[in-house]
Amino acid sequence: MSKKVKTVKLKTFEKLLVACLISGKPVTKQEIDSLLGNEIYMYRISTYIWHIKTIANGIVKVIKDGRKVSGYQLVNVDEVKQYLERVYIVTGK
């Protein structure tokens, strides 16, 4: 008998988390655009970061070049991975 697998549709901020920020390394806006440019709206990136902060309890460090935002970095990777495990996106160890 095969195991039944639950399919979950990712929310937009979860796509951003899983594809770019979960490594904990700084990611530029150009890298985000090249990876997820056709799946997310780049003008709403601040809203997605806000969702990461409020829903997934993530701490996102904003990297700036003067006054302009150039990239983002997820600081508390382990806590966000626990959120992803809770919503069945990432499996445990």
Report the distance separating Cα 72 and Cα 24, nearest Å.
Answer: 9
Report the distance separating Cα 62 and Cα 72, nearest Å.
Answer: 5
pLDDT digits (tens, 9 = 90+) for 57-81: 999 999 999 999 999 999 999 999 9
Most confident of 17-21, 36-40, 71-75, 80-84: 71-75
Distance of CA 74 to the CA centre of its chain: 8
Structure tokens at 56: 């997934």
Q: Quick one: DSSP state of residue 66?
A: T
- Average pLDDT score over residue span 6-31: 89
